[in-house]
Chain A
Amino acid sequence: MFSSLPESFRAHGLSADVRTLLVLRKAMQKELVKTLGDMYNVLKGIVVKEPTDLGPFTRAYYEYFLDIAIRHDERLDDAVLRSKTFQEWRANQEGEHDISTEDLINKFLDQVHLTKYDIKEIISGKDIFDNDDPDRKDEDSNDNSDEKPVERNLDKMVDYSGLTLEELLERMKKVQEQQKSKHSGGSHWIGTGGTSPYGHGGAAKDGIRVGGTGGGKMARKVIGDKNYYPVDTNALLNDDNVDAALSAIKGVIEESAIEKLDVPLTIKTGLKRGGLFLPELVSETTEQMRIILLIDNGGYSMSPYIRSVRHLFGKMRTRFAHDLEVFYFHNTIYDVVYKDDRRSKRLPIEQLVKYAKEYRVFFIGDAAMAPYEINHTSVNSLMAITKHFKKHVWLNPEPLRYWQSTETIQLIKRIIPMYPLTPNGIERAVRHMNGKGVG
């Protein structure tokens, strides 16, 4: 039944496959998974590959292991509260009627996220944990009243350690079936005691109050914070996805770390040594990141994007030391571009094309204008730029569906490869620039 785990996690946009199961199996063999909370942590370490996976992962986990589906924009608490799993669990909590719902949810989350580390922390002494044997526990409790709560906690602990993976799978399968049937009779994962297929005996009357379990708190935070969800890389560039765009644009940096034999230097120094030739190596590092930005800042259609674009490339500049030149134009380029955003300082095209041809040129504009604006001069200028700078793309904030119907977009697209101004589009543009056929 774990076999459906990768599939179900992939449905949340996570990467999970057979390898996930193999590592999980190994973790179980190494006794890393003793509680449901351990399962969360271990799977998190295996499946989550970046912070934006945390949100989807937590959802997938709650859905898969607890049958709690968290709706979009829903708080974890609300999802828990309306879930059948919680209702059943609650029904098994005796003498808890005077506890507020909030506390009950906290207790539920504490139990879900209880890890073997927490248990170890409660029980001072690894022995009790390792050989937890009901008889011995009784003795202990007589000897030492301090340890009493500890043993009671142990009762409620969900212990997988004695099970083989196959047994565990079998049991989990049973639970899922039970949870799907109308009357599951309150059996489930977390420490409900007697009826739980995972508990090993004693009934759980009291919640496990572990000060240290931050798991539930963290799950709450993750569900409630959009930073832990992937950004829509097809959304137009905005402050939320500018980082995703940034990582795409970093692809324009060409770098390598190869040491090469410096032949001329070797000969020169070898001759000086009277024929003792020692190889002289030169490290060939190329970090090239020279960019010319040509931004259309005329007209209202462009203004929402200029800030994001400058923010994006500005961020690039703070991280890497390289050349970034920004020029402005309105609608299309005639014989000049402008050095300032008010378009008062002119730079003739003849001078623009004197920049080193290694510069990568990004045109950014909606390319929407009256067809007559793209006249002979304009076409010539664009051609001159693209002829000189082999690596060039046009990023367009206009939604893709309008491209077909806008005549000037079609015109310019024939001269300059055009991509949408989205993180995804930027990534494709950069890949195009780095393509073998270009430059």
Chain B
Amino acid sequence: MAETSHWTGSEKYLCDPELAQAFHMARTLGMPLLIEGEPGTGKTELPLQYASDLQLDLFTYPVGSKSNVEQFVARFDHVKYLRDSQIEILNAQREEKGLDSKLSTGGRDTENLGDYVAKGPAAKAYLSKNSVLLIDEIDKAPREFPNDLLYALSHRKFIMPESGEEVSASEENMPAIVITSNREQELPTAFKGRCIYHYIHFPDKEVMGQIIEKHHPNIEDKIVNTAIDMFYHLRTLGLERAPTTREILNWLKYIKDVKPKEAVEKIERLDGIGALIKTQTDMERVNRVIHSHTLGSQGGFSTN
């Protein structure tokens, strides 16, 4: 079996028990774990923290709109191969002419096709025992990518292009595979069927307090509580892009250097709100809310 201890988080990382269990289950079954959830809820953190906590090798494949399965597994570098073979011809010609200097192929041998295989993160992860393989933001990929990937992952074996070399992992030292998605595009049903699925719920106030504790252990409770209240209030406004965990952590980073009393005031005035609100329309809406709130508290006499 792969590394299947039940990992519940580290000093720096609060792993939601549900997520920890899903992760454990995925590793035990040797299936990829597909994590979805709002941005900024720590989807990517899980494999990173797990790998660093247990000191395992981590291989990351950040998915983009140009991703294809070749980059992920391995591709044959035709350009280098052609270049080197041409160089051999050139060198032969030079030799005929009695020239000593030769062009170098950088130690690669055109007879050995394996020299021209560029291994991607998947092949590397399979070659490294009990490693962690992160496929980040798979929803950014072209539509055929998840299905291609599915085929690659469902066999514990890759065949390298051209060289025919086999890269495989036994069930005992399978890498732990974690796939994250922001749900910007639906993934094929067949693909989801092969994964253990976990949806990260947005943490409630209590859990948020614990997360903040992990990141900023030295902030006074009062500040944290005020910030959390404000933060969840903002989240109820129905903003286009509601602030997430990442944003409140950044906000507190900004607040924490100030004296406690000022800090609470700052939070109530929403100082540094740029850390929380990311779009212009949202900012306008928040300003309207603050404005009406101020008006209300001053009995409507404000001229501002």
Contact = CB atoms under 8 A, between A and B. Distances in A.
B37 to A, nearest CB: 8
A255 B143 contact: yes
Contacts of A221: 201
A26 B29 CA distance: 7
Sort A-B residue pairs by CB-CB distance and give the 7 closest, nearest first.
A45-B196, A257-B66, A49-B192, A51-B199, A30-B28, A257-B68, A257-B142
Contact of B82 (A54, A256, A278): A278
Contact of A50 (B28, B36, B78, B240): B36
B110 to A, nearest CB: 14
B272 interface: no
A318 B189 contact: no
A311 B125 CA distance: 43
Given A117-B6, A283-B66, A32 B29 contact: yes
Interface of B: 1, 6, 17-18, 20-22, 24-26, 28-29, 31, 36, 65-68, 78-79, 82-83, 86, 90, 142-143, 145, 183-186, 189, 192-193, 196-199, 201, 240-241, 279
Nearest to A30: B28
Interface in A39-65: 41-42, 44-46, 48-51, 54
Given A117-B24, A285-B65, 16 more contacts: A15-B193, A27-B25, A30-B29, A32-B29, A49-B189, A50-B199, A51-B36, A117-B17, A215-B18, A218-B201, A247-B183, A255-B65, A255-B143, A276-B86, A278-B83, A285-B66
Contacts of B199: 48, 50-51, 54
A185 interface: no
Contact of B21 (A51, A115, A255): A115
B67 A250 contact: no
A2 to B, nearest CB: 17
A82 interface: no
Interface string A183-219: 0000000000000000000000000000010110010
Contacts of A255: 65, 142-143
Nearest to A31: B28
Contacts of A257: 65-68, 142, 145
A41 B36 contact: no
A393 B79 CA distance: 45
28 contacts: A15-B189, A23-B31, A30-B1, A30-B29, A32-B25, A41-B18, A41-B21, A41-B25, A42-B25, A44-B197, A45-B197, A46-B196, A46-B197, A48-B197, A49-B197, A50-B183, A117-B6, A117-B20, A117-B21, A221-B201, A247-B186, A255-B143, A256-B142, A257-B66, A277-B82, A278-B86, A285-B66, A318-B240
A163 interface: no
Contacts of A348: none
A120 interface: yes
A45 B189 contact: no
A19 interface: yes
A120 B6 CA distance: 10
Contacts of B142: 255-257
Contacts of B26: 45
Contacts, number: 94
A224 B44 CA distance: 29
Contacts of A48: 197, 199
A120 B5 CA distance: 12
Contacts of B1: 30
Contacts of A256: 142
Contacts of B83: 278
A318 B280 CA distance: 11
A281 interface: yes
B162 to A, nearest CB: 15
Contact of B18 (A218, A285, A287): A218
A42 B240 CA distance: 34
Interface in A254-291: 255-258, 276-279, 281, 283, 285, 287
B134 to A, nearest CB: 19
A189 B183 CA distance: 37
A182 interface: no
Contact of A19 (B18, B21, B193): B193
A354 interface: no
A319 interface: yes
A126 to B, nearest CB: 10
B68 A247 contact: no
A41 to B, nearest CB: 6
B265 to A, nearest CB: 33
Contact of A214 (B17, B29, B79, B197): B17
A283 B75 CA distance: 15
A276 B29 contact: no
